[in-house]
Amino acid sequence: MANKELQEKVAQYNKLLRQYGHAYYVLDKPVVTDTEYDQMLNELIQIEEQHPELIYPDSPTQRVGGEVLKGFTKVTHQYPMLSLGNAFNEEDLRSFDERVRGSVGNKFSYVCELKIDGLAISLIYENGLFVRGATRGNGTIGEDITENLRTVHAIPLRLTEEVSIEARGECYMPKRSFTNLNKARAAEEEELFANPRNAAAGSLRQLDPKIAASRNLSTFMYAIGGSGESYHLSSHSEALDYLDRLGFQTNHERRSCPSIEEVLTYITEWTEKRELLPYEIDGIVVKVDRYDQQDELGFTAKAPRWAIAYKFAAEEVETVVLDIDLTVGRTGVVTPTAILKPVQVAGSTVQRATLHNEDIIREKDIRIGDAVIIRKAGDIIPEVVSVLFDQRTTDIVAFEMPKNCPVCDSELVRIEGEVAIRCINPKCFAQISEGVAHFVSRNAMNIDGLGERVVEQLLREELIADVADLYALQKETLLELERMGEKSVTNLLAAIEASKSNSLEKLLFGLGIRHVGAKAAKLLAENFETMDAVMTATEEQLIAIDEIGQKMADSIITYFENDEVHDLIARLKGYGVNLTYTGKKVNSADIDSAFSGKVIVLTGKLEQLTRQEAQAKIEELGGKVTGSVSKKTDLVIAGTEAGSKLAKAEQLGIEVWDENRLVNELK
């Protein structure tokens, strides 16, 4: 059993990785380096493997990749687009090689490929014709970007054979295209793209295909979806040659390497030559070549055992800390950021670096005016690695976090057991602004047209003081604001009106109660059904709900003990905002089925149903689907490639079904 310190560490890692993943994959505005993200994720994976009871359903390790963007049709991949395990040094690669040899012996070969720094895509062809293109999305569900991909000349619209196939690869922006694009944006005084990968992702997410066409994107295809054996191929290298013959562009810098020594030689060569390429790469992909040996090696729950991605070491450069900027978030946390003397790192100009919190500043003794080393794994906001103390002058003094909030001047506090310093003034402009932005976000009340700029404008003009005031906004008043025209105001008011009918869980999530995410909000809504019942719930009632623990229960109770919260809820009710759960509520006691009243976990890859379809059908029949295996679990449904959850179920003696048994019971 994991101790409390480890539990808190896992919870913190989950929170940070979700934030980083959202910024990286959804917003295309990364906030940490690849190296930092990967190392934190790998550490979390190791902890979860040793302590399966700490695998939370919303853990970043339980998903591949990130969230689906709004604005494009969702596409469910026939075969999940899995991520690869990472290697950061020679030792990691040799350990991978030892694992491979331990499974398949010594008669095998690797294929090494350049890891293109772009956006993963899936291309579907029927009888040789291109019919659909999609992003990777979260690995299971992506976005349909067919029309944008049609504008990429490297993608054939008709193959050389009338074959039905899925090709997978990377869409990227060549360095020259990136330079030209940023020159044009600078001339128009538009925000510059940070790097070619973000530019490629932004181009493919344009709703106007003409914009994508103007960006001069390209592709390298690197795999066939599903089994290449369906096309009478016996190896990965044969599949790449076949893709070539079909008319796809593959990367011909690949190399067959019969030994790990040759793999290391290939990596050394391209580490030195990468800057000479006309496109960005961020590592090397190493795959066991033969399909039968890939099948023998199999998969973990998250990645194939027959492949690994070697990540180039983060580039480190010297610069100077010009200032330390402080920002206040929705929960009052004050976050420090180093303002740097502009410096080129990995092809882009860097002016900011994350400092995380006061403890990091003290530990590294970072001061304004210091010469520092920063690192960046290719293209995102870096971190300060170390201070060059031999360059520090006597007039550079230690940095002290302020005693008062930089926005509202209220006293800052540090809660025992936390590293964060907080502003606890509920009227702080920064907190209110962030809180309103959260309230109107897609997973909360979903009010289109209320971006950050509009929210701040409404607050500064004193048209709103909290989220309830949004429902009192008038058309005439809004039309007087700068950049608010007739159409935008009409659409905004319609979105606000529509949000009144949202089910209770949307409102609960939007209120921003500490530790209550979207899933917890839905659990509260389903179990209590009304806002009044949630507000008066006791600690015992809250903890009785599976997946709601002591910390969350305490937070919910503390939140609703506040008189200002009661006033806010009353005002929302007065404006006609729905305060009840309108989703489907299943009473398992009224249903006679094999799933009624049981706690069920789905794991592995399902072939006949999607994970979402299976969950919906089980819940319709009175079952409850959760994300982690525990002593409370009654049944585990194990698809192919099931991993640690299946192992834990077997360890605990929990009943396990395969997918065929599930499908038969659902009939």
Tell whether residue 113 is among the known ligand binding residues: yes
Which residues, including other chains, have CB under 8 Å from residue 44's CB and lie 6 or more apart? 10, 13, 14, 17, 59, 60, 61
Q: Do 494 and 515 share a domain, yes or no? A: no
Tell whether residue 36 is among the known ligand binding residues: yes
* β-bridge pairing 635-638 and 655-657: parallel
Helix or strand or coil: residue 230?
helix
What pLDDT, on the 0 to 100 scale, is given for residue 203?
84
Q: Most distant CA pair in the chain: distance in Å?
A: 78
- Name the more confident of 645 and 84: 84
What pLDDT, on the 0 to 100 scale, is given for residue 45?
78
Q: At 67, is the pLDDT very low, low, confident or very high (cuts 50, 70, 90)?
A: very low
User: Within a domain: residue 149?
Assistant: yes
Identify the CA nearest to 355 among candidates 345, 347, 364: 364
Tell whether residue 171 is among the known ligand binding residues: no
Q: What is the model's pTM? A: 0.47
Identify the CA nearest to 378 among candidates 355, 342, 350, 356: 350
CATH code for the domain of 125:
3.30.470.30
Q: Do 204 and 287 share a domain, yes or no? A: yes
Angle at 58 between CA 55 and CA 59, to 5 degrees: 50
- Name the more confident of 198 and 389: 389
What pLDDT, on the 0 to 100 scale, is given for residue 65?
32
Alpha-carbon distance of 38 to 48, in angstroms, equals 15
Q: Do 531 and 495 share a domain, yes or no? A: no
> Which residues span the domain enclosing 28?
1-62
Q: H-type helices in 561-653, by residue range?
A: 563-574, 611-620, 644-652
Q: What is the DSSP string of 542-582?
A: HHTSTT--HHHHHHHHHHHT-HHHHHHHHHHHHTT---B--
Q: H-type helices in 440-514, by residue range?
A: 452-460, 475-479, 486-499, 504-510
CATH code for the domain of 643:
3.40.50.10190
User: Within a domain: residue 79?
Assistant: no
What pLDDT, on the 0 to 100 scale, is given for residue 249?
92
Residues that are catalytic: 115
Q: Do 121 and 246 share a domain, yes or no? A: yes
Q: Do 346 and 405 share a domain, yes or no? A: yes
User: Within a domain: residue 74?
Assistant: no
CA–CA distances in Å: residue 42 to residues 47, 246, 377, 384:
9, 37, 16, 21
Amino acid type, 169: G
Tell whether residue 650 is among the known ligand binding residues: no
User: Within a domain: residue 489?
Assistant: yes
* β-bridge pairing 421-423 and 599-603: unpaired
Q: CB burial class (10 A; 0-12, 13-18, 19+) of residue 560?
A: middle
Q: Do 113 and 256 share a domain, yes or no? A: yes
- Name the more confident of 651 and 364: 364
User: Within a domain: residue 388?
Assistant: yes
Q: pLDDT tens digits, residue range 369-428?
A: 999 999 864 444 578 889 999 999 999 999 998 999 999 998 898 877 777 888 888 788
Determine which of 170-174, 576-580, 661-665 has the lowest per-residue pLDDT on average. Answer: 661-665
Angle at 461 between CA 458 and CA 463, to 5 degrees: 60
Q: Do 305 and 156 share a domain, yes or no? A: yes
Amino acid type, 114: L
Q: Characterise 532 by phi-psi region: left (phi > 0), alpha (psi -120 to 50), beta (else).
A: alpha
Tell whether residue 37 is among the known ligand binding residues: yes
What pLDDT, on the 0 to 100 scale, is given for residue 134?
93
Q: Do 201 and 236 share a domain, yes or no? A: yes
User: Which two structure tokens, joined as six digits, stand for 452?
Assistant: 């950050």
Tell whether residue 487 is among the known ligand binding residues: no
What pLDDT, on the 0 to 100 scale, is given for residue 257?
96
Q: Which of 459, 475, 500 is the last residue of a domain?
A: 500
Cα 94–chain centre separation? 30
Q: Do 495 and 528 share a domain, yes or no? A: no
Determine which of 11-25, 136-150, 293-307 has the lowest per-residue pLDDT on average. Answer: 11-25
Contact of 66 with 25, CB cutoff 8 Å: yes
**First-to-last CA distance in the chain?**
39
What is the overall mean pLDDT for the chain? 85
CATH code for the domain of 47:
1.10.287.610
Q: Do 172 and 108 share a domain, yes or no? A: yes
* Structural domains counted in the chain: 6
Q: What is the mean pLDDT of residues 51-66?
A: 61
Contact of 59 with 120, CB cutoff 8 Å: no
The residue to which tokens 């020259």 are assigned: 176
Determine which of 297-301, 590-594, 648-652 has the lowest per-residue pLDDT on average. Answer: 590-594
Q: Which of 259, 280, 311 is the last residue of a domain?
A: 311
Q: Which of 446, 481, 500 is the last residue of a domain?
A: 500
